[in-house]
Amino acid sequence: MTKILLVDDDVELLHLLMEYLIEDGFEVSIANDGERGAAEALTGQYALVVLDVMMPFVNGIEALKRIRAHSRVPVLMLTAKGDDMDRIIGLELGADDYVPKPCTPRELSARIRAILRRTEVVAGADVPSALSVGALTLWPGQRRVAWDGKPVELTSSEFNLLEVLARNAGRPVDKNDLSEQALGRPLARFDRSIDVHMSSIRHKLGTLADGRSCIQTVHRLGYQYIRE
């Protein structure tokens, strides 16, 4: 079974979510504070971590920093409804996605499965096929990225978004399509997650010969990967 770590100081909610996820086929461990949660996430046992932002002492943002300093395990943040700042900070620090609280166990499970579907490694490929566009090379089977031959560390959501753009290089991709294909969910109104992820990807990749980013914003539509 796929092993999930739930980190939240709300014990009642934690056990409600745990019971549902177990019934839905997951193996679940729990932690009641950010310090223990971050340490547990770094053991390498988990396919995904669900991390609440609002916790005493070591909060979710600090716990995420500790996790991302050593691991690329997918992290789904639980954020207060309407708190855009926590969402943006979490995404900038490397969270893969977020779910606003209160959320239903069914919604959380669906979001977890959407992330996991996009992080599965293709097994059995001795020579994984590569996708190359100019200086960019992606190996979807291994979920590896290189720019000009040098490895680039991306979160799972960043990889998914970049892969969609690379496969459509030279053509603009609508934000709604990006969200559906890369994040596995419709783009909600006022949702800035795509923009935050794109900013991070641009920062991590190199530039074209003329100094421009390889990812261009298409006004009122979405983004486009430029063919060199």
> Does residue 122 fall inside a structural domain?
no
Are 74 and 10 in a shared domain? Answer: yes
pLDDT of residue 128: 58
> Average pLDDT, stretch 175-185?
92
On the 0-12 / 13-18 / 19+ scale of CB atoms within 10 A, 38 is: buried
- Copy the structure tokens of residue 147: 């720019």
pLDDT-based confidence at 126, cuts 50/70/90? Answer: very low
pLDDT-based confidence at 121, cuts 50/70/90? Answer: low
> Average pLDDT, stretch 132-140?
93
| Position 145 pLDDT exceeds 60 | yes
> Average pLDDT, stretch 187-209?
90
pLDDT tens readout for residues 147-158: 999 999 999 999
Query: Total domain count for the chain?
Result: 2
Are 176 and 204 in a shared domain? Answer: yes
> Average pLDDT, stretch 30-59?
95
pLDDT of residue 84: 83
Residue ending a domain, among 93, 117, 141, is: 117
> Average pLDDT, stretch 162-187?
93
> Does residue 214 fall inside a structural domain?
yes
Are 16 and 110 in a shared domain? Answer: yes
Antiparallel, parallel or unpaired: β 136-139 and 144-147: antiparallel
pLDDT of residue 123: 41
Task: Domain of residue 19: give its range.
Answer: 3-117
- Measured distance CA(19)–CA(65) in Å, rounded: 28
Are 164 and 107 in a shared domain? Answer: no
| Position 16 pLDDT exceeds 80 | yes
- Measured distance CA(80)–CA(163) in Å, rounded: 30
Are 171 and 107 in a shared domain? Answer: no
Q: What is the mean pLDDT of the chain?
A: 91
| Position 43 pLDDT exceeds 80 | yes
> Average pLDDT, stretch 66-95?
91
- Measured distance CA(30)–CA(200) in Å, rounded: 30
The model carries a pTM of 0.83
Are 190 and 220 in a shared domain? Answer: yes
pLDDT-based confidence at 208, cuts 50/70/90? Answer: confident
> Does residue 124 fall inside a structural domain?
no
Helix axes 193-204 and 156-167, enclosed angle (nearest 10): 80
Place of tokens 């970049």: 162
